[in-house]
Amino acid sequence: MNRLRIFAATAVSLVMFTARGYSASCSIATLKGSYAYQDTQEDPDGTKWYIVGYLKFNGAGTGSTNWIFHNSKGSIENNQVGVPLTYTVDQTCTFSFTQQGGLTFSGVISNNTNELNYVETTGWEFRRGSAKKVTGRD
């Protein structure tokens, strides 16, 4: 009987805490602020790219990005500043953003909006990355 009570209490606790974890609701306003990001890309010819920068979201569907990149062939570029982007967010806390020029990414918002994980979905190359919210860059 004691084991049954422990099992029942554990099951109820798991259901309560699991339901809570999936009940988060997001909107376009959820994604607001600046995020420092890093991502990697591999082109069909095998060239690898290492990219770092900032993503800035205004909470209303637009923003900008800055980046510096280096590739496995020795190219370095750091003049991409303030490139405009548009974005959407759905209720399940997934998001998509498109940079000027058409490069599109989709991902998830996590850790109380402090982290983003995403992949490139345009189909031009294989690219994936993550970002962490930063303060003092808004």
Element of type H or E holding 69: strand 62-71
What pTM value is reported for the model?
0.77
Structural domain boundaries in the chain: 28-134
- Model pLDDT for residues 34-83, shown as the tens digit of each residue: 999 999 988 888 889 999 999 999 999 999 999 999 999 988 887 788 89
Residues 6+ apart with CB under 8 A from 6: none
Query: Please, which pLDDT band fits residue 137 given cuts at 50, 70 and 90?
Result: low
Question: Does residue 9 register a pLDDT over 60?
Answer: no
pLDDT value of position 79: 73
* CATH of range 28-134; options 2.40.50.40, 3.40.50.1820, 2.40.128.120, 1.10.260.40: 2.40.128.120
